Amino acid sequence: MTIADKKPLKFNKIQKSVLLIAFIGLIGILIYMKIKPDLQIIVNKKDVIVNETIENDGEKFIEIKDKEKIDVNELFPETMTDGEVQNAIHQMSHQKVKADKKWGMIPLTKERVVRLIDVVEGNKDNFKHESTYLKILNRWKEDDFSRVDEDHNNIWSLQNGTVGRATGILTYEEELRFISKYFNVN
């Protein structure tokens, strides 16, 4: 029997309906996966207050604070794992870096940075990359974000990142737009 001798497949109405529903479902899943990170962030927006200051050298600086008092000890408990510390640093860095894709955003506040330093210093033996975490966090504690893109990529590499490598640092205006998009600014 040759290919020309084969009869074309014929589907009844039920089979056609099932195939159509499956196709529509697949398209829906693909669309959802494409926009899921944005949906997640928009639904879970954090309330923040933006403080804009001018440094001694004339450079503008953005600092955000949580509108409501949050318990950073609960948010970042002493029992955090290596992966949880990496996720926290990674997601906070998104506020300040340029990248094609960003999954997860945590407001980068001084209080969170100080708490993560306490967690890492209090459990040094539990963290494989504690010196990396402390170098990053101590710079951020001093409002030094001059290497935040490198900081992001260091953590991203530890997490075996393949998408979303930082390609630079957001300008003052770009960071304000990011904050307005992903956080409720009050």
Chain segment 104-122, per-residue pLDDT in tens: 889 999 999 999 999 999 9
pLDDT for residue 165 is more than 60 = yes
40 CB neighbour count, 10 Å cutoff: 12
Pairing of strands 46-54, 60-66: antiparallel
pLDDT of residue 147: 96
pLDDT of residue 98: 96
Phi and psi for 63 in degrees, rounded to 5? -125, 135
Q: Where are the domains of the chain?
A: 12-44, 47-185
**Which ranges in 1-58 belong to alpha helices (H)?**
13-43
Question: Tens of pLDDT along 11-52?
Answer: 788 887 877 787 787 777 666 555 444 444 444 567 788 877
Pairing of strands 46-54, 166-169: unpaired
Measured distance CA(47)–CA(67) in Å, rounded: 5
